[in-house]
Amino acid sequence: MTMDAKSAVEAVFREESGRIAATLILCCGSFDAAEEALQEALASALVVWPEKGIPQNPAAWITSVARRKLIDLSRHERMKAGKQGSLRYEIEGATRCDGLWDEEMDKHVADDRLRLIFTCCHPALNQEAQIALTLRTLCGLTTPEIAKAFLAPEPTVAQRLVRAKRKIKEAGIPYQVPPAHELPGRLASVQAVVYLVFNEGYAAATGDRLVRTDLCNEAIRLARVLSELLPGDSESVGLLALMLLQHSRRDARVVDGRLVTLEEQDRSAWDRAGIAEGLRLVDAALAWGRPGPYQVQAAIAALHAQAETPEATDWRQIRALYRRLLGMTDSPVVALNHAVAIAMGGELAEGLERIEELGGLLEGYYLFHAARADILRRMNRMEEALECYRKALALATNGLERDFLTRRIEETGGAGARPAPRVGC
């Protein structure tokens, strides 16, 4: 087998498996049967393509072969059960998948993918199952890849997938976009799952790596799908913009195995193309006049991205945006970020006071202690800062973040007063 054919098959699996799976699941109503048919079609491609050449549209070829395998399976099951009946849906399905994609087929596939996103993120499934099923079905990640990404045992992830598929089947969860009156709540859960995937890639909770670029890319890909399939939803566009702007700093956040704070980052290493797209999308989303939490967060990220130097950061605007975000959510983490923005805007005492007011809610959150330590250090209250850094270190679970806090402890304990970089990165 030539490497070209193998690479083409791998590309279809990675880039198109979500599109294909969506169509196959709609046809047969079974995640497992669709996945098996897709795998068999990919295996067929590995045999056929080296001999006959890569087809003009590899994804259409895979879809057509997988659909025929589902038809064969259906016929076999009917014969085993001694049943006869109409195969109308099978014939229509085979016709639909033959040949190359056309405009009508693109519309069907877009509808199928939207149905699949909402099915994977149905509220009857717990969030861990939603994430696993979304990554498996829409992103094409294998069970070992999902387990590795979230540092979970492979059997645990496999069981989550099995239970999620069983739940969908037994509970009769409809494979459809929810009706209009349910859409806002359901769409919010889909967006939350996509952002959770991104956040695990952006700042891994545990392990020795801070950034998982592959997970960030998968989340961005899902957000693109969502914004393309629901072009009138400004929050989906805002979510995509937010992730693009945050991910634009990926190459500057870890240098020589060390976490680098936003203040210290080499801004020339930021992804300017990603920033340009993110800024354009922020403007487009806000122009609709329906600002939501993701759009506001994207606007904050845009202000950071537009600052050519740390000193040029518009903290007054960022403070105002966090205040607006607080009006949309009662999250204590948002309140913490608002307090930090106040301090970074020059009002250290007020910022510290607001941070300390959150102690009862965020005592177990390491960034609460790290942010408090940073402000105390800027105020030259070194002993208090040192105590807070130690509390943060005791709670941090990511190796790079622990190394960062250890360095801060050493600097605070042995150096004189000097401005300390922000904890945020």
Quick one: pLDDT at residue 280?
Answer: 97
**Residue found by looking up tokens 């497992």 in the block:** 32
Is residue 173 helix, strand or coil? Answer: coil
How many CB atoms are located within 10 Å of the residue 66 CB? 27
**Residue found by looking up tokens 């680098």 in the block:** 260
Instruction: Calculate the average pLDDT of the chain.
Output: 84
Amino acid at 391: K
Is residue 207 helix, strand or coil? Answer: strand
Quick one: pLDDT at residue 207?
Answer: 63
**Which helix (H) or strand (E) is 194 found in, with range?**
helix 183-202
Quick one: pLDDT at residue 323?
Answer: 97
Quick one: pLDDT at residue 81?
Answer: 59
Residue 206: pLDDT band (50, 70, 90) is low
Quick one: pLDDT at residue 418?
Answer: 40
Q: At what angle do helices 183-202 and 127-137 cross, to 10 degrees?
A: 80
Query: What are the structural domains of the chain?
Result: 204-308 (no CATH), 314-425 (1.25.40.10)
More confident residue, 83 or 125: 125
Is residue 208 helix, strand or coil? Answer: coil
β-pair partners for 258: 255
Quick one: pLDDT at residue 417?
Answer: 37
Q: Is residue 49's pLDDT more than 80?
A: yes
* Rounded alpha-carbon distances, angstroms, from residue 88 to 85, 92, 174: 9, 6, 21
More confident residue, 166 or 101: 166
Residue 406: pLDDT band (50, 70, 90) is very high
Residue 263: pLDDT band (50, 70, 90) is very high
Q: Is residue 421's pLDDT more than 80?
A: no
Quick one: pLDDT at residue 82?
Answer: 56
**Per-residue pLDDT tens for 286-324?**
999 999 999 999 999 999 999 999 999 999 999 999 999
Q: What is the CA 107 to chain-centroid distance, rounded? A: 25
Residue 289 Rama label (left phi>0; alpha psi -120 to 50; beta)? left
**Residue found by looking up tokens 């079905």 in the block:** 137
- Beta strand 254-255 with 258-259: parallel, antiparallel or unpaired? antiparallel
Quick one: pLDDT at residue 93?
Answer: 41
**Residue found by looking up tokens 């040029």 in the block:** 312
How many CB atoms are located within 10 Å of the residue 28 CB? 21
More confident residue, 201 or 324: 324
Q: Is residue 8's pLDDT more than 50?
A: yes
More confident residue, 280 or 201: 280
Quick one: DSSP state of residue 290? -
Q: What is the CA 141 to chain-centroid distance, rounded? A: 13
Quick one: pLDDT at residue 416?
Answer: 38
Helices assigned H by DSSP within 203-264: 213-229, 234-247, 250-253
Quick one: pLDDT at residue 134?
Answer: 86
Range of lowest pLDDT (32-41, 81-90, 280-289) = 81-90
Average pLDDT over residues 143-170: 86
Average pLDDT over residues 372-385: 95
pLDDT over 70 percentage in the chain: 86
**Which helix (H) or strand (E) is 374 found in, with range?**
helix 366-378
Whether the Cβ atoms of residue 249 and residue 266 lie closer than 8 Å to each other: no
- CA dist 83 and 144 (Å) reads 39
Question: Would the pTM count as exceeding 0.85?
Answer: no
* Rounded alpha-carbon distances, angstroms, from residue 253 to 13, 90, 149, 257, 265: 30, 52, 19, 10, 7
Q: Is residue 347's pLDDT more than 60?
A: yes
How many CB atoms are located within 10 Å of the residue 147 CB? 19
Quick one: pLDDT at residue 4?
Answer: 82
Q: At what angle do helices 234-247 and 183-202 cross, to 10 degrees?
A: 0
Q: Is residue 99's pLDDT more than 50?
A: no
Quick one: pLDDT at residue 88?
Answer: 39
Quick one: pLDDT at residue 89?
Answer: 40
Quick one: pLDDT at residue 3?
Answer: 52
User: What φ, ψ does residue 345 adopt, rounded to 5°?
Assistant: -80, 5
Range of lowest pLDDT (50-64, 172-186, 250-264, 339-353) = 172-186
Quick one: pLDDT at residue 83?
Answer: 54
More confident residue, 189 or 311: 311
Average pLDDT over residues 405-409: 94
Most confident of the ranges 12-21, 360-369, 407-416: 360-369
